[in-house]
């Protein structure tokens, strides 16, 4: 594997970890059952509106080891994908209610993150250390961090042209 492919894999793992820890929405688009469903020990009647709390799935220790730690390596060499087939990781929803912006959104996030990391070195403002950051969520229609991230870019020193 080339160095570029390894870095791309790492970038993808970081993006997936961010979507697992800090999803853009808490609840996915509501679904309605077509038939009577038996889920675990519960009977869900026909035509019941079902809300999926994706934020809670991302923090469930039955689903993720050490769920609130930032561990992108959990996605390295792992086939868990965001396209709705792996129900422990569905940041864009699943089934016919999958977010229609998924293909464009995924490409744009990867392109922007890779570009920002390639062209700039980053430091937190005010001498703050990464482990001191307040990572609590602020709930609303979309999820945001309670305290906004303030990072200072500087031109990357070791930028090499191929």
Residue ranges at the known binding site for heme: 99
List, as residue ranges, the binding site.
99
β-bridge pairing 144-145 and 151-155: unpaired
Residue with tokens 């990867």: 110
Contact 137, 55 (CB under 8 A): yes
User: How wide is the angle at C-alpha 94 spanned by C-alphas 31 and 104, nearest 5°?
Assistant: 125
């Amino acid at each position: 594997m080339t160095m570029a492919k390894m870095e791309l894999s790492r970038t993808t793992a970081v993006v997936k970890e961010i979507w697992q820890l800090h999803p853009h929405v808490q609840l996915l688009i509501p679904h309605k059952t077509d038939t009577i469903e038996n889920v675990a020990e519960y009977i869900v009647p026909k035509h019941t509106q079902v809300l999926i709390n994706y934020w809670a799935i991302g923090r469930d220790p039955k689903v993720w080891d050490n769920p609130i730690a930032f561990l992108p390596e959990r996605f390295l060499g792992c086939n868990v994908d965001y396209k709705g087939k792996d129900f422990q990781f569905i940041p864009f929803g699943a089934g016919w209610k999958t977010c229609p912006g998924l293909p464009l959104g995924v490409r744009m996030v990867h392109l922007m993150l890779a570009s920002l990391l390639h062209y700039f070195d980053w430091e937190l403002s005010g001498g703050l250390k990464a482990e001191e950051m307040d990572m609590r969520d602020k709930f609303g229609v979309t999820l945001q961090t309670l305290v906004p991230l303030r990072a200072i870019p500087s031109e990357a020193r070791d930028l090499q042209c191929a």
